[in-house]
A and B are shown apart, each in its own frame.
Chain A
Amino acid sequence: MIGIGLGFKWFIFVVMALTAVGASIIMVTRKNPIHSALWLIVTFFSIAVLYVTLNATFIAVAQVMVYAGAVMMLVIFVIMLIHLEWGARLGHKKSFPKLIGSIITIILFLQILAGVYTYSNTGQHGIYTAQKLAEIGNTRAVGTVLYGKYAFAFEIASILLLVGIVGAVLLARKRKEQER
């Protein structure tokens, strides 16, 4: 992104941020789960573009690959497989829990908004500036940190994934009676 003017970057940011927020609002209001899933993909995609404007290309691509690609594909697959979209045609009534939910959502949203609007950069900067990233390469930077400093967390995360896989198999396995 170096070499492109700040104005253009700002423009991209505004467009993509609005798309992300808009798409996520549309996502939660859709009745058809497939449509919801698709709007979620749009959100993920625009967030990926936001990462690119932050010079985090690796995270951006990983976001598209893992979330927009693999995870959402699985979600859509499951929705289609168990025909959730048919249930959507029944229609919903407005209910009390929904009202409470929306109030809480709005409160949380306002809270975050307050946090964003009063944001001042009180913290300290990291060591990876845009120039340094461009110098050593994004992927190399992520790799160095992930397998160097954070190797321990990485290993524990691998156990996390193992537990996830084992758990999924355990819960989905046929019962004993069915095996016979």
Chain B
Amino acid sequence: MDALIPASEFRWIVPEMILTGFGLVLLIMGCLTRGPVASKISGVLCIAGSLFALIFTVKMWGMNLDIFNQLYTIDNFGTFFKSLFLAILILVALVSLRYADREEIGGGEYYALLMFGVLGMMVMTSSHHFVTIFIGLEVMSLAIYVLCGLLRSELASVEAALKYFLLGAFATGFLLYGMSMIYGSTGLIDVVDLKKYFLMKQPFSATMFIIGLGFLLVGFGFKIASVPFHMWTPDVYQGAPTSITAYMATGVKAAAFGALIRVFFTAFIPFQFGWSEIIWVLAVLTMTVGNITALVQRDVKRILAYSSIAHAGYILVAFITGDRGEASSMLYYLMAYSFMNIGAFTAVIVVQRKGDNTSDLDSFAGLGARHPFIALCMSVFLLSLAGVPPLAGFMGKFYVFSTAVKAQYYWLAIIGFLNSVVAAYYYLRVMMYMYFREPIGEAAGAVDRAPQYGLVMLICMWALLHMGIFPRTFIVMAQKAVGIFG
């Protein structure tokens, strides 16, 4: 008879329970009431719930234990990511307070799905059991498939949802198949058990296991949008409602990287010589394809989509080294990356107009003269994305590339550096449009100004400056988080 679950263990999943509870309440509210007021209240409830959850999560910092028969883990790594997801959720919900009403996609269900999506991310990054990781990933993905297609009057949004769903389902199949092959060749389905098993059985090699590992990489590669599994990214990012794009670009990527790092750095370090060669190629391709393609884009959302592909490549650079102590660089990068992207997408939302989900470069023309504050914020985010000191983006890149140098992957670091030089071109191009171009046509009209947007952009800007100028606290935090791999 397997052990049942002691009730006391539930206190460790209070944040998850809060999210679920608030999500359910929002769903019921969504059934009973409609309209802008109800939508506002739902949004506020969502933010309140996330704040509660964030408080409880932060309190768990430093805790280290397995609960629910090893299915769930509370450790610094998980807590770090959970806090990041909740911060993302709060920011996105803040933006949505205005944006969702503008596009008439708001309501209880919208916020409930946002919360369930974050629940899935939290579950998937704080478990070392394949079953839980997979189910968490599915909860997250399913919520986002739906959120992508919410602008139903726009073909692009429907296309985004469908494309993401079909390809996502396919990738999930790969992931699951990979997990089952690893299970089939070792008889173990828990990453920590796998680690012990490999230590015992050095050197371990079975064809089925290697194939499984490859499939696992394909599945995760899709979720982090690395080349050659990146094809969906631009279309989906462009078609989805912009708030959801921000949520996807940051949350999903961080969650996928979280699970990837946990799985590979816990169990598969003995095989690092094998997978690092594959990922070496993938990382170079991801950076280069992302950056080169971004050069010729004219839609800012698309530019940001390709830039997010390139950023996945930068993070992979640190991943390849398999250096468990320096894995903190990835965490730091993901955190910085999340804030810059949410900020940038918020600026895009501000410039977009109701019912128009595109964001051509021309609509940014002359923004510097028309709305200096928005243009300033956008510039900060873009500069941070480009990796200009003293912003967090620079520290992140520096940290990631120095990890590669430390592990003697010189070529990789050089390619990465060249890539970020190329990338600077298209970020600066947007800035050039904002400051040195005359407003064009009707794009010169008013932007959608609201205090929520300003608040989100200020928070992001503050975070970027703080993380860039005083990175120590955050780096120490990230190092503590990866302490579990030690």
Query: CB atoms of A and B under 8 A apart anywhere in the complex?
Result: yes
Binding site for B on A (CB under 8 A): 111-112, 114-116, 118-120, 122-126, 144-145, 148-153, 156-157, 159-160, 162-164, 166-167, 170-171, 175-176
Determine the distance from Cα of A148 to Cα of B4 in the docked complex, in whole angstroms.
5
Q: What is the minimal beta-carbon distance from B483 to any residue of chain A, in angstroms?
A: 25
Please state if B185 and A111 are interface contacts (CB–CB under 8 Å): no
Quick one: which of B71, B138, B187, B206 contacts A160, CB cutoff 8 A?
Answer: B138
Task: Name which residue of chain A comes closest to B193, CB basis.
Answer: A124
Please state if A123 and B71 are interface contacts (CB–CB under 8 Å): no
Please state if A118 and B208 are interface contacts (CB–CB under 8 Å): yes
Task: Name which residue of chain B comes closest to A126, CB basis.
Answer: B187
Residues of A close to B135: CB separation below 8 A: 153, 156-157, 160
Please state if B207 and A118 are interface contacts (CB–CB under 8 Å): yes
**Nearest 4 interchain pairs by C-beta:** A123-B187, A167-B146, A148-B2, A152-B68
Q: What is the minimal beta-carbon distance from B298 to any residue of chain A, in angstroms?
A: 27
Is B152 interfacial (CB 8 A cutoff)? Answer: yes
Determine the distance from Cα of A151 to Cα of B120 in the docked complex, in whole angstroms.
16
Kindly list 8 other residue pairs between chains A and B, CB separation below 8 angstroms, not including A115-B211, A120-B206. A122-B185, A123-B185, A126-B187, A149-B71, A152-B71, A152-B132, A163-B143, A171-B149
How many A-B contacts at CB < 8 Å in the complex?
A: 108
Interface pick from B109-117, B264-272, B343-351: B109-117
A124, A148, A153 — most chain B CB neighbours (10 Å): A153
Q: What is the minimal beta-carbon distance from B58 to any residue of chain A, in angstroms?
A: 22
Residues of B close to A152: CB separation below 8 A: 5, 68-69, 71-72, 132
27 contacts between A and B (CB under 8 A): A112-B211, A114-B211, A115-B208, A118-B206, A118-B207, A118-B208, A120-B206, A123-B188, A124-B187, A126-B187, A149-B71, A151-B68, A153-B132, A156-B132, A159-B20, A159-B119, A159-B139, A160-B135, A166-B27, A166-B109, A166-B112, A166-B146, A167-B145, A170-B109, A170-B146, A171-B149, A171-B161
Residues of A close to B1: CB separation below 8 A: 144, 148
Is B452 interfacial (CB 8 A cutoff)? Answer: no
Is B131 interfacial (CB 8 A cutoff)? Answer: yes
> Which residues of B in the span 173-191 have a Cβ within 8 Å of any Cβ on A?
181, 183-188
Task: Name which residue of chain A comes closest to B210, CB basis.
Answer: A115
Determine the distance from Cα of A153 to Cα of B4 in the docked complex, in whole angstroms.
13
Determine the distance from Cα of A7 to Cα of B129 in the docked complex, in whole angstroms.
38
Residues of B close to A145: CB separation below 8 A: 2
Please state if A175 and B153 are interface contacts (CB–CB under 8 Å): yes
Residues of B close to A159: CB separation below 8 A: 20, 116, 119, 139
Please state if B188 and A124 are interface contacts (CB–CB under 8 Å): yes
Is B136 interfacial (CB 8 A cutoff)? Answer: yes
Determine the distance from Cα of A160 to Cα of B185 in the docked complex, in whole angstroms.
28
Q: What is the minimal beta-carbon distance from B53 to any residue of chain A, in angstroms?
A: 15
Contact flag A167-B143 (CB < 8 Å), given A115-B181, A149-B69: yes
Please state if A156 and B123 are interface contacts (CB–CB under 8 Å): yes
Determine the distance from Cα of A161 to Cα of B121 in the docked complex, in whole angstroms.
16
Q: What is the minimal beta-carbon distance from B271 to any residue of chain A, in angstroms?
A: 14
Chain B interface, >50% SS class:
helix
Binding site for A on B (CB under 8 A): 1-5, 20, 27, 68-69, 71-72, 104, 109, 112-113, 116, 119-120, 123, 129, 131-132, 135-136, 138-139, 142-143, 145-146, 149-150, 152-153, 161, 181, 183-188, 201, 204, 206-209, 211
Residues of B close to A163: CB separation below 8 A: 113, 116, 139, 142-143, 146
Residues of B close to A157: CB separation below 8 A: 135
Please state if A114 and B68 are interface contacts (CB–CB under 8 Å): no
Quick one: which of A122, A149, A176 contacts B2, CB cutoff 8 A?
Answer: A149
Determine the distance from Cα of A166 to Cα of B112 in the docked complex, in whole angstroms.
10
Please state if A153 and B153 are interface contacts (CB–CB under 8 Å): no
B161, B206, B208 — most chain A CB neighbours (10 Å): B208
Task: Name which residue of chain A comes closest to B158, CB basis.
Answer: A171
Residues of A close to B187: CB separation below 8 A: 123-126
Residues of B close to A164: CB separation below 8 A: 142
Residues of A close to B201: CB separation below 8 A: 122
Please state if A160 and B208 are interface contacts (CB–CB under 8 Å): no
Residues of B close to A114: CB separation below 8 A: 207, 211
Residues of A close to B112: CB separation below 8 A: 166
Q: What is the minimal beta-carbon distance from B354 to any residue of chain A, in angstroms?
A: 14
Please state if A160 and B142 are interface contacts (CB–CB under 8 Å): yes
Determine the distance from Cα of A162 to Cα of B30 in the docked complex, in whole angstroms.
14
Determine the distance from Cα of A124 to Cα of B161 in the docked complex, in whole angstroms.
41
Quick one: which of A111, A122, A150, A153 contacts B186, CB cutoff 8 A?
Answer: A122
Please state if A167 and B206 are interface contacts (CB–CB under 8 Å): no
Quick one: which of B20, B71, B207 contacts A150, CB cutoff 8 A?
Answer: B71
Q: What is the minimal beta-carbon distance from B120 to any residue of chain A, in angstroms?
A: 8
Residues of B close to A148: CB separation below 8 A: 1-4, 69
Determine the distance from Cα of A124 to Cα of B2 in the docked complex, in whole angstroms.
19
Task: Name which residue of chain A comes closest to B145, CB basis.
Answer: A167
Determine the distance from Cα of A84 to Cα of B123 in the docked complex, in whole angstroms.
39
Residues of B close to A175: CB separation below 8 A: 152-153
Residues of B close to A125: CB separation below 8 A: 187
Determine the distance from Cα of A111 to Cα of B215 in the docked complex, in whole angstroms.
11
Q: What is the minimal beta-carbon distance from B346 to any residue of chain A, in angstroms?
A: 24
Determine the distance from Cα of A148 to Cα of B428 in the docked complex, in whole angstroms.
56
Residues of A close to B116: CB separation below 8 A: 159, 162-163
Q: What is the minimal beta-carbon distance from B4 to any residue of chain A, in angstroms?
A: 6
